[in-house]
């Protein structure tokens, strides 16, 4: 049975586990996460684009990006920018990416008022399909609640829908 919908569960009060299958080979799904030109095609919820996406894909490297709302139907969000920064901790191609994800400013300074997340992405080969598992670990249950209340699960669901669409275009 294929599972193209996002499943989520919370472990230990502060780890959000998200899973989904993609109809594409593991190497291709992995590549979509390491190349800025690919990321620009799908990263972020619907109606948001990535006008800035700088990727230094290596342990210790930084991914600095800006998501901008370009959908006028999103009301008060239209024109809003959200800056983020990822610092890669571990990369095992094409199996695993571990990075710390933080909110930042346009200069890349981390916003210490917002929770950071340690994301462990696992890419599991299902013979032409790929299961992606994201373990998002927060420093506290409160931090996890903050991002859940902000809509992180819905945002990832839309983002991974866009990833599936991008995969079908490049496959």
User: Residue 56 falls within a domain, yes or no?
Assistant: no
| CATH code of 35's domain | 3.30.530.20
User: Residue 33 falls within a domain, yes or no?
Assistant: yes
Please compute the mean of the pLDDT values over residues 94-111 and round it to a whole number: 96
User: Residue 29 falls within a domain, yes or no?
Assistant: yes
In this predicted structure, what is the pLDDT of residue 165? 96
pLDDT: is 113 or 54 the higher one? Answer: 54
Which residue segment(s) compose the domain that 159 sits in?
7-44+90-170
Q: Would you call 110 exposed, middle or buried from its count of C-beta atoms within 10 A (0-12, 13-18, 19+)? A: middle
- With a CB cutoff of 8 Å and minimum separation 6, the contacts of 59 are 88, 89, 90, 91
Q: Is residue 90 predicted with pLDDT exceeding 50?
A: yes
User: Residue 127 falls within a domain, yes or no?
Assistant: yes
Q: Which residues pair with 18 in a beta bridge?
A: 8, 134
User: Residue 2 falls within a domain, yes or no?
Assistant: no
| Sheet arrangement for strand 62-69 | 7-11, 15-22, 130-137, 117-125, 96-103, 81-92, 62-69, 48-55
- Residue 81's nearest CA partner among 95, 98, 64 is 64
Q: How many CB atoms lie within 10 A of CB 20?
A: 21
User: Residue 59 falls within a domain, yes or no?
Assistant: no
Distance CA 81, CA 52 (A): 10
User: Residue 115 falls within a domain, yes or no?
Assistant: yes
Position 1 confidence tier, pLDDT thresholds 50, 70, 90: very low
**What are the CA-CA distances from residue 110 to residues 9, 107, 168 (Å)?**
27, 9, 34
Kindly give the pairing relationship between strand 48-55 and strand 15-22.
unpaired
Position 3 confidence tier, pLDDT thresholds 50, 70, 90: low
For the chain, the domain total comes to: 1
Token pair of 17 as six digits: 């586990």
């Amino acid at each position: 049975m294929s599972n193209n919908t996002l499943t989520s569960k919370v472990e230990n009060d502060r780890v959000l586990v998200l899973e989904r299958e993609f109809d594409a080979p593991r190497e291709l799904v992995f590549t979509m996460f390491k190349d800025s030109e690919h990321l620009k095609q799908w990263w972020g919820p619907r109606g948001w684009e990535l006008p800035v996406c700088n990727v230094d894909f290596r342990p210790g490297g930084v991914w600095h990006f800006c998501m901008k709302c370009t959908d006028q139907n999103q009301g008060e969000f239209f024109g809003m920018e959200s800056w983020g920064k990822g610092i890669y901790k571990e990369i095992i191609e094409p199996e695993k990416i571990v990075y710390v994800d933080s909110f930042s400013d346009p200069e890349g300074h981390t916003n210490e008022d917002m929770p950071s997340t340690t994301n462990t992405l696992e890419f599991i080969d299902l013979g032409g399909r790929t299961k992606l598992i994201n373990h998002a670990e927060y420093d506290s249950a409160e931090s996890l609640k903050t991002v859940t209340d902000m809509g992180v699960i819905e945002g990832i669901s839309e983002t991974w829908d866009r990833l599936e669409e991008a995969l079908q275009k490049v496959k």
